[in-house]
Amino acid sequence: MAGHNGRDAGAPADPTGPGSPAAAAAPDPRRWKALAVCLVAGFMTLLDVSIVNVALPSIREGLSTPVSDLQWVVSGYALAFGLFLIPAGRLGDARGRRPVFMWGLTLFVLASAACGAAQSSLWLVLARLVQGLAGGLVSPQISALIQQLFSGRERGRAFGMFGTVVGISTAVGPLLGGLIIQAAGADEGWRWVFYVNLPLGAVCLVLAHRLLPDTPAAGRVTPRDLDPVGVLLLGGGVLALLLPLVQSEQWHGNAKWLLLVVAAALLAGFVRWESRCRTAATQPVLDLSLFRIRSFRLGCLLILLYFAGFTTVFFISTLYLQSGLHYTALQAGLAITPFALGSGAAAALGGRLVGRFGRPLVAVGLIMVAAGLGLTALAVHLVPGRGVGWATAAPLLLAGVGSGLVIAPNQTLTLAQVPVVMAGSAGGTLQTGQRVGSAIGIAVVGSVFFAQVTADGWAAAFDHGLVVAVGFVVAALLVALADIAVARREENRLRTGNRPGTEDRLRTGRRRRPGPGRNQR
């Protein structure tokens, strides 16, 4: 959600920023209708992260798709989505948010049509990559338009609605996908999971042209503004990291692990390049100075690990239920629905409670997710066979409620101490972490899952995949606990130091001067 309400130092001022004539003008009377268009488009692009999961078994049979391509159908979309968020945000700031929104949505609709018409697994994977790129173009324009259209409490309400869409869209995908496949048929229904975007996208395009406001262009866009070198280094590094994991069953021998060395070199080169960009004319795709802020640094790491864990649950659950237990796509979607219900119910509550409880609220949510997924694995052992869907309902509901207390509250806390001038880059970085985390999680958990299927069967594969997913969630919990511990130490240090006679030292950072006249300046 790369909402660019501010710019890096030296960039032209945002004509819609606080204190500007535009901000002081009367609010746009069509702003809530415009927000509705943005939320529908955002829901559609984020939904495609998970809606395809219930279609994977049908895709596998219809296109004779190898398991590595199934993983790329899911993780490739998330990776392309994440890598283009920050450059797309800059493009919208410079060329106008409405036209970039419409370009991205048009490309998304065309890529969806290409996905539905795919005649081979390679065709589908490439179309999904383009679809992910298009989603990355659309998403940052939404939060930037919210900044432009709303102010004060209205802006908080609008961002709260968008945060709820982000949380629910991923969780509800399997159910909607199951309903579509049930209505269109098991053989060709997977194609309609993509085709459904066509009429919805067309309506959004018409309404976007009528309702979204113009954005005064800040100037021409040059390649240096989009940091293509940084994007290529980051994308190449993550790709080299994912390849040996996704292709572990197809590539035999140990040579494939040399790609991890390549990944380390590319990512190190990315960090070095981004550090140099701060002193050059090129705007970095990732402002490394943001990571000096503890809450931002730990919040980004937390959400990357969390998305690597929780988004993979839908991937392995639908494969297990449909291919292992022969559930229909609708039955598989319904079996995962408790997670969506819990997440939706808790998302709004988390947004209200985060100001009161802070990071401990996120930690409680992570504990609930880990416990819910652990109980899900236990339920599979206690109630084997086709009764698994009923046995896992309560544990998945618990995990969903926990998820609702993690995503939106973590976003609020992670961005709370970020300077306004860096808000756009920070929001884009956070969203990039979510998508890259999803791609890494699918690669890691998917490789464990498919390796275990061939060895011990579907139930064992699901069990092992859940263990790895829970491991990612527990790692996110450890990050949250570390943030809480550091914050409490700082509070205790301030509390014990805030005694009479020390207030000036805390305020100025200097020791009090002894002797008479020490208060004179």
31: Cβ contacts below 8 Å, ≥ 6 apart = 149, 150, 154
- Residue 155: is it exposed, middle or buried by C-beta count within 10 angstroms (0-12/13-18/19+)? middle
* Cβ-contact 469, 309 below 8 angstroms: yes
Calpha distance 93→85 (Å, rounded) = 12
Is 513's pLDDT higher than 60?
A: no
* Cβ-contact 101, 210 below 8 angstroms: no
Q: Alpha carbon of 108 to those of 93, 111, 113, 139, 516: distances in Å?
A: 20, 5, 9, 11, 73
**pLDDT digits over 218-237, tens only?**
556 666 667 788 888 888 88
Mean pLDDT of 486-507: 65
Mean pLDDT of 493-505: 58
Is 423's pLDDT higher than 70?
A: no
Structural domains of the chain in order of their starting residue, each with its CATH number: 29-216 (1.20.1250.20), 227-284 (no CATH), 290-493 (1.20.1250.20)
257: Cβ contacts below 8 Å, ≥ 6 apart = 244
Is 102's pLDDT higher than 90?
A: yes
Calpha distance 315→507 (Å, rounded) = 52
- What pLDDT score does 517 carry? 47
**pLDDT digits over 233-279, tens only?**
888 888 888 778 777 666 777 777 888 899 899 999 988 888 877 65
Calpha distance 333→350 (Å, rounded) = 25
Calpha distance 295→77 (Å, rounded) = 28
- What pLDDT score does 12 carry? 39
What's the whole-model pTM score?
A: 0.77
When pLDDT is cut at 50, 70 and 90, the band that residue 387 belongs to is confident
- What pLDDT score does 269 carry? 93
> Average pLDDT, whole number, for the chain?
81
Mean pLDDT of 387-408: 91
Question: Token pair 């649950």 is at which residue?
Answer: 313
- Residue 499: is it exposed, middle or buried by C-beta count within 10 angstroms (0-12/13-18/19+)? exposed
Q: How far apart are the first and last CA of the chain?
A: 48
Is 389's pLDDT higher than 50?
A: yes
HSE-CB for 210 with a 13 A CA cutoff: 10
Mean pLDDT of 113-136: 93
- What pLDDT score does 25 carry? 56
Is 457's pLDDT higher than 90?
A: no
Calpha distance 97→311 (Å, rounded) = 29
Residue scoring higher pLDDT (499 or 411): 411
Calpha distance 492→474 (Å, rounded) = 27
- What pLDDT score does 278 carry? 63
- What pLDDT score does 24 carry? 44
Residue type, 42: G
Most trustworthy range by pLDDT among 20-24, 166-170, 390-394: 390-394
Nearest Cα to 362, choosing from 479, 491, 489? 479
**Cα torsion angle, 113, 116, 119, 123, sign:** positive
Mean pLDDT of 305-333: 89
- What pLDDT score does 124 carry? 94
Calpha distance 196→499 (Å, rounded) = 64
Nearest Cα to 14, choosing from 89, 75, 81, 73? 89
- What pLDDT score does 520 carry? 42
Can you tell me whether residue 63 is helix, strand or coil?
Answer: coil
**pLDDT digits over 25-71, tens only?**
567 788 899 999 999 999 998 888 788 888 888 898 888 888 878 88
Mean pLDDT of 198-208: 93
Is 2's pLDDT higher than 50?
A: no
Q: Alpha carbon of 140 to those of 144, 306, 433: distances in Å?
A: 6, 21, 14
Residue scoring higher pLDDT (153 or 377): 377
**pLDDT digits over 332-386, tens only?**
889 988 998 888 788 778 877 887 888 899 999 999 999 999 999 999 888 878 8
Residue scoring higher pLDDT (110 or 448): 110
Nearest Cα to 244, choosing from 444, 23, 433? 444
Question: Token pair 């945000």 is at which residue?
Answer: 89
Is 16's pLDDT higher than 50?
A: no
Calpha distance 437→83 (Å, rounded) = 12
- What pLDDT score does 7 carry? 38
Is 445's pLDDT higher than 70?
A: yes
Angle at 192 between CA 189 and CA 194, to 5 degrees: 130
Backbone angles phi, psi at 72, to 5 degrees: -70, -30
Mean pLDDT of 447-457: 81
Residue scoring higher pLDDT (132 or 244): 132
Is 505's pLDDT higher than 70?
A: no
- What pLDDT score does 235 carry? 81
